[in-house]
Structure 1
Amino acid sequence: MRAPERPTFDDEVSKEIYQYIERHGTAARHRVRDAAAVSPEQFQDHLEQLKTRGYLEEEGGTLRVALEVGSIEEYDTDAGTVTIRPARHADFEGLVDTIRDVTETESYVVAETVAEQLLYEDSVSRHTTVESRVFFVATMEGSVIGWTHLDLPHTAKLQDTAQLTVGVRPDYRNAGIGSRLLTRGLEWAEANGYRKVYNSVPAINDTALSFLESHGWHTEGIRKNHYTIDGDHVDEVLMAYRI
């Protein structure tokens, strides 16, 4: 499902249920039922239809928008067998911890912002009329060790571009995992009609800049003194990849 596509509804109640959950990212089942203002039997029927059509998913009484973004892949690396797949809500804590592990040792301001947004919304996936986001994770023995993430604006003039972040825990680097994650994100963007992805990196993050450059990314611009890091003004390097 390409993120900007909108679900279609057979009736106003189903639309109202979906949009309530969409606005909140996640929602407790009983609160959605109260907002829908229909009988428990009617609510159950509408909810089951939305889940059957793949619009919503439920876990332990919490409802969220479902976003199908691809298959599961496994790779053998020097570090062990790595699985790369779409992120699930069950990955939430591991995903946030991984992003924080990466940003603790290097300057990656955009990724820090992504982690804070996840915590604020308490949801991995996001799909609204304004924007969507897609996450893929790399896992080893069930633990999240890396991610790639795309922010997808729905504004007409920006709908062919996406912001991408990618990172791997320091202990699992130099095994090709970051390259696999980056490729997965770019392949998804290409398959869904995006023409450009971009990333913003502080100029002092040589590791990230070198990694992106080695995979065909180029510098599209520099914003002077854009960040304040450890009391110093640091340039922002705008990196882009044309698909």
Structure 2
Amino acid sequence: MEMNASYTSFVAVGDSFTEGMSDLLPDGSYRGWADLLAARLAAREPGFRYANLAVRGKLIGQIAEEQAPAAAAMGADVVALVGGLNDTLRPKVDMGRVRAHLESAVELLAPSCGQLVLMRSPGRNGPVMERFRPRMEELFGILEELAARHGALLVDLYGAPVLGDPRLWDVDRLHLTPEGHRRVAEAVWQTLGLPAEEDWRAPLSPAAPPGWPVRRAEDLRFARRHLFPWIGRRLTGRSSGDGRPAKRPDLLPYGALPPS
């Protein structure tokens, strides 16, 4: 239902999904669904302000402890919290701790902003997804409970079959393509009660699947460039986001560059 809402500020909190990987821009930076949404909101509201605190590789405990307090202090009209999926992809995860960190973050953010947005994240179809599906669905159940308890909006990307289409996922099989991010931005836009511009759930055009040699070559390239480095970081306790600052740490007018 359209609510004709007015949103003058937006803060995004989370990990690589919200940082914008793999929506790569020509200058080597990432855009992503949160930047796309901010651009559309800014076109509606003069003086619109935007911050993006997300950092790739962050676990929900880090998001709750490092990003949520900063976001709460900004008092924005909209705050989007997306996190926990990195935890479910670890070899071992304590879902009780994941729940506790999510509860802590939501309890802090919900009363501090005009509207909190949570998300059931998309998952790429394939054997890796099947292995982690039970954990992911447990995470999504927690988010549903928290959204109902705290009056947050819940964007259901997981329930949209099109976002499981491998063609909407980058070669690393962990992050959406630019088209995938564009659809997510539209999904959040509509969840905020703003007028739809397209059907973000619409399936892609049918296409013949690649042959066996192509699939095997893609699998080998994926393993060499992405899977093995990812496993190496897990074994050594490192993260791709170690030492990396948020790309937009302050709630500034849209278009203003964050301080260097």
TM (norm. structure 1) is 0.32
More strand by share: 1
Asked which structure has the greater CA Rg, the reply is 1
Structure with more of its chain in helix, by fraction: 2
Taking structure 2 as the reference length, the TM-score comes to 0.31
